[in-house]
A and B are shown apart, each in its own frame.
Chain A
């Protein structure tokens, strides 16, 4: 599981919803090492549909922070799932809150995965590939 660039990830579009710029930077870097060319950053969930509409682009993966200003990750997820465009989009929770209460809430909310912060750099490429392959990945750090 390395950061070897494969052609398979070149054309996917990953959207990162994260209020902390350094956390976005780390994720974007890791994704770019994997060969992902299109990585978008939004600070809040409200900007996700806007982006999708403006860019006329299909979003393949959303890495969604739970702890967000104004609207938390769960509310964003609920709203996105109601949107036809994001009903089947892979959406993964990325959070520093790894309490079991939060984990079970994420499971029942309908996330396709759960990545704990700090991000496990060693396993990240494998986890992302598995998520894109349709698996549901729960990493508790």
Chain B
């Protein structure tokens, strides 16, 4: 038991019923997630913010730097241009000086041109006439080309001249005195200046913008009609409007650019430097990408570290939690494996210690519970056995008192005992009239095996255990294998006996008288121990008493039956006798009356008197017969009563008429004194009438003259009716016999009463007494002062029990 109780917590024992999964996931998703999120938020949010600000700052800075750089480029280019122009001017002034010294202009000019390959041509003209004085290139000496270039100012002139190509002509004039020297540098030179990237930002493009729509870039000349500023960029448009500036806008090809520009009024050209925004910001973007990438890396690293840290923190806690959860489910053999020296390690060790203590406590508890369970079971079995004993005992007692019929009693009892104690067999043997022991009742666990027991009847009377128990009244146990000491029975009977583990025979005796044997067989070898024998003995004693009681009861019942039969016979006899007596009386009374009525002819006085005597005696005899019959019926309890609501006034009224008729011929006054408020009675009105009439008749009979008083009254729950006469006095010794069933004795003091009836006993009072008692009242007689007596009887207004029943 102990092992079984502890088993569920054993090492390899899976939980008997798998409960819902433990909340481990919830743990990881709870504490771990919280920690991880906190870590990530703390790491990534500031980093992201920093990255964003950095990016923003870099872009702004790049922009500013770029624009400033472009502005510088523009200024530098202007300076270059001015320097370039001034170089030519100086060259031209040197030529002019040489010409003034009368040097051959053409040779000088050719020498210069040969020296400077950028010059495509050099022309000397007379300002006043416009005549070409000298020219190194005939193509430039055409008047159409020269005319617009005539100027009295030094400097660069870019003029749209109709030449072979439609490109404008780039010219630098140097007027002095009346002559003008014009140099035609190639566009290549200017283009080199423009394209010179030395001072430019990498990737920037520089344009020289002429006011008439020509634009020079490093790719060459291009033309944009100056009248359509919407077709050009903001920079070019501003230059055309002679404005300086810088900014971000869409370039000529539509690409967003940063640009810086200025207008040189002396040279009449604008310089524009542009840088593609995408190109310019590329570096910034690269930087931003580096920053974002670095941030991401840092975030990832942080996340990883956070995860590791979180796991390191939560794993032992989760482990602890899971363990605690298992322990809460009763699996106490839990151990947390955490080999750490930090707080969690301390917690784990404390937890393990606690679990170990709990396990020890629990195992102790289990062991104790198991021990107590065994004790309780033992006690319970004991109690159950006692309960069965008690219940069976009580049941036997109940059966003993409730079943009067002896055979039924015995059958019920053996079945009761056989079933309650789970016996194979239970039987009761009783001595019959001849002193032989016979089976009176038997219980078999399997009814079909009843034949096996037939031999037992014969056996019971031998010197078998049953027979010996019946002989000496000592109970015996026979166990299989011990031998039943077959004595004279021999082996044959023993072999025929059914195989039961043990047998108990208990004597049934009342005091010293042995009635029989209670025989029990059990299939349990250890049954019928000493304690159990005592129990069976007490059951046997109860059965004995029950048998004795049943026998006494049967005897009593037989007696009662016999008495009842006697009563019935007596009643029948009286009825028959009454009938038999009435038949001759019919003739005596009838014919004497016929004669007295002189129907048969006239009578003389003596005949008449004689017949009168016969007739009266016949009547008297008839009355006596009726009274005797009535009295005997009352005695036997077969007299009929029919109760109902009764008004005493009505009865007394009727009775008074009869009584007055009886008193006719005597000097008697009959008075009635009945209060008006007499209650209705629940009783037999005819019987009440019978009693009152009997008392009045009695009074009239013994009173020759005087008064008779009939009084009625009520008191607590009953009415009292009395009849008082002033007739003869009843002697004291007669009072007690006056209601006797042998008939009222002839009162001595009333001897010699007229009518010749005094010597005949009267049953009227005896009948009245029995009727009154049957109705639940009492009747008595009192002698009073002076002559006469008082007969009084009471009647309950509501009888407590229904009378008329036997």
Does A76 have its Cβ within 8 Å of any Cβ on chain B?
no
Chain A contacts of B587 at CB under 8 A? 22-23, 26, 118
Q: B582 touching A117 by the CB < 8 A rule?
A: yes
The residue on B at minimum CB distance from A66 is B579
Closest chain-B Cβ to A106's Cβ sits at a distance in Å of 15
Does B618 have its Cβ within 8 Å of any Cβ on chain A?
yes
Bound CA span A23–B584, Å: 9
Q: B583 touching A117 by the CB < 8 A rule?
A: yes
Q: A23 touching B583 by the CB < 8 A rule?
A: yes
Q: B583 touching A20 by the CB < 8 A rule?
A: yes
Q: A3 touching B599 by the CB < 8 A rule?
A: yes
Interface stretch of the complex, out of A6-14, A44-52, A97-105: A97-105
Q: A118 touching B594 by the CB < 8 A rule?
A: no
Chain A contacts of B594 at CB under 8 A? 26, 29-30, 121
Chain B contacts of A26 at CB under 8 A? 586-587, 590-591, 594
Closest chain-B Cβ to A102's Cβ sits at a distance in Å of 9
What total of chain A residues lie within 8 Å of the partner, measured CB to CB? 20
Chain A contacts of B591 at CB under 8 A? 26
Q: A23 touching B579 by the CB < 8 A rule?
A: no
Does B48 have its Cβ within 8 Å of any Cβ on chain A?
no
Q: A33 touching B599 by the CB < 8 A rule?
A: yes
Bound CA span A20–B584, Å: 10
A120-140 to B contact mask, C-beta < 8 Å, 1/0: 011000000000000000000
Please pick, from B586, B588, B597, B599, the residue contacting A96 in the complex, using a CB distance under 8 A: B586
The residue on A at minimum CB distance from B591 is A26
Chain B contacts of A117 at CB under 8 A? 582-583, 585-586
Chain A contacts of B575 at CB under 8 A? 97, 99
Chain B contacts of A3 at CB under 8 A? 597, 599
Please pick, from A30, A67, A118, A121, the residue contacting B585 in the complex, using a CB distance under 8 A: A118
By DSSP majority rule, is chain A's interface helix, strand, loop, or mixed? loop
Chain A contacts of B593 at CB under 8 A? 121-122
The residue on A at minimum CB distance from B587 is A22
Q: A121 touching B597 by the CB < 8 A rule?
A: yes
Does B356 have its Cβ within 8 Å of any Cβ on chain A?
no
Chain A contacts of B582 at CB under 8 A? 96, 117-118
What total of chain B residues lie within 8 Å of the partner, measured CB to CB? 19
State which residues 579-623 of B face A: CB under 8 Å: 579, 582-583, 585-591, 593-594, 597, 599, 618, 622
The residue on A at minimum CB distance from B593 is A121
Does A119 have its Cβ within 8 Å of any Cβ on chain B?
yes
Bound CA span A67–B583, Å: 11
Chain B contacts of A118 at CB under 8 A? 582, 585-590, 618, 622
Bound CA span A33–B597, Å: 11
Please pick, from A99, A100, A119, the residue contacting B586 in the complex, using a CB distance under 8 A: A119
Chain A contacts of B599 at CB under 8 A? 3, 29, 33
Does B578 have its Cβ within 8 Å of any Cβ on chain A?
yes
Closest chain-A Cβ to B635's Cβ sits at a distance in Å of 16
Q: A96 touching B590 by the CB < 8 A rule?
A: no
The residue on A at minimum CB distance from B590 is A26
Q: A100 touching B590 by the CB < 8 A rule?
A: no
The residue on B at minimum CB distance from A2 is B597
Chain B contacts of A29 at CB under 8 A? 594, 599
Q: A96 touching B589 by the CB < 8 A rule?
A: no
Bound CA span A4–B500, Å: 101
Q: B586 touching A23 by the CB < 8 A rule?
A: yes
Does B640 have its Cβ within 8 Å of any Cβ on chain A?
yes
Q: A96 touching B618 by the CB < 8 A rule?
A: no
Closest chain-A Cβ to B573's Cβ sits at a distance in Å of 14
> A96-B578, A96-B583, A97-B579 given as contacts; is B640 within 8 A of A119 (CB)?
no
Closest chain-A Cβ to B84's Cβ sits at a distance in Å of 169
Chain B contacts of A22 at CB under 8 A? 586-587
Chain B contacts of A30 at CB under 8 A? 590, 594
Q: Identify which of B578, B579, B597, B618 gathers the most chain A CB atoms within 10 Å of its CB.
A: B579
Q: Identify which of A33, A121, A141 gathers the most chain B CB atoms within 10 Å of its CB.
A: A121
> A20-B583, A96-B583, A100-B640 given as contacts; is B590 within 8 A of A119 (CB)?
yes
Q: Identify which of B585, B594, B597, B640 gathers the most chain A CB atoms within 10 Å of its CB.
A: B594
The residue on B at minimum CB distance from A19 is B583
The residue on B at minimum CB distance from A102 is B575
Bound CA span A29–B582, Å: 19
Bound CA span A141–B591, Å: 16
Closest chain-A Cβ to B509's Cβ sits at a distance in Å of 52
Bound CA span A5–B599, Å: 12
Bound CA span A96–B593, Å: 18
Closest chain-B Cβ to A140's Cβ sits at a distance in Å of 10
Closest chain-B Cβ to A14's Cβ sits at a distance in Å of 17
> A26-B587, A121-B594 given as contacts; is B579 within 8 A of A96 (CB)?
yes
Please pick, from A33, A67, A101, A122, the residue contacting B579 in the complex, using a CB distance under 8 A: A67
Bound CA span A78–B613, Å: 42
Q: A121 touching B590 by the CB < 8 A rule?
A: yes
Chain A contacts of B585 at CB under 8 A? 117-118
Chain B contacts of A122 at CB under 8 A? 593, 597
Q: A101 touching B640 by the CB < 8 A rule?
A: yes
Bound CA span A122–B589, Å: 11
Bound CA span A70–B591, Å: 28
The residue on B at minimum CB distance from A26 is B590
Bound CA span A119–B622, Å: 12
Bound CA span A67–B585, Å: 16
A20-59 to B contact mask, C-beta < 8 Å, 1/0: 1011001001100100000000000000000000000000
Bound CA span A30–B594, Å: 8
A57-69 to B contact mask, C-beta < 8 Å, 1/0: 0000000000100
Bound CA span A119–B585, Å: 9
Closest chain-A Cβ to B764's Cβ sits at a distance in Å of 17
State which residues 493-507 of B face A: CB under 8 Å: none
Chain A contacts of B579 at CB under 8 A? 67, 96-97
State which residues 534-589 of B face A: CB under 8 Å: 575, 578-579, 582-583, 585-589
Chain A contacts of B586 at CB under 8 A? 22-23, 26, 96, 117-119
| 7 nearest A-B pairs in the assembled complex, by CB-CB distance | A96-B582, A121-B593, A118-B586, A118-B589, A26-B590, A117-B586, A22-B587
Chain B residues at the A interface, C-beta cutoff of 8 Å: 575, 578-579, 582-583, 585-591, 593-594, 597, 599, 618, 622, 640
- Known: A97-B575, A97-B579, A101-B640; 18 extra A-B contacts, CB below 8 A, are A22-B587, A23-B586, A26-B587, A29-B599, A33-B599, A67-B579, A96-B579, A96-B586, A99-B575, A117-B582, A118-B586, A118-B588, A118-B589, A118-B622, A119-B586, A121-B597, A122-B593, A141-B622
Chain A residues at the B interface, C-beta cutoff of 8 Å: 3, 20, 22-23, 26, 29-30, 33, 67, 96-97, 99-101, 117-119, 121-122, 141
> Can you report 12 A-B residue pairs in the complex whose CB atoms are below 8 A from each other?
A3-B599, A22-B586, A22-B587, A23-B586, A29-B594, A30-B594, A97-B579, A99-B575, A118-B589, A119-B586, A119-B589, A121-B589
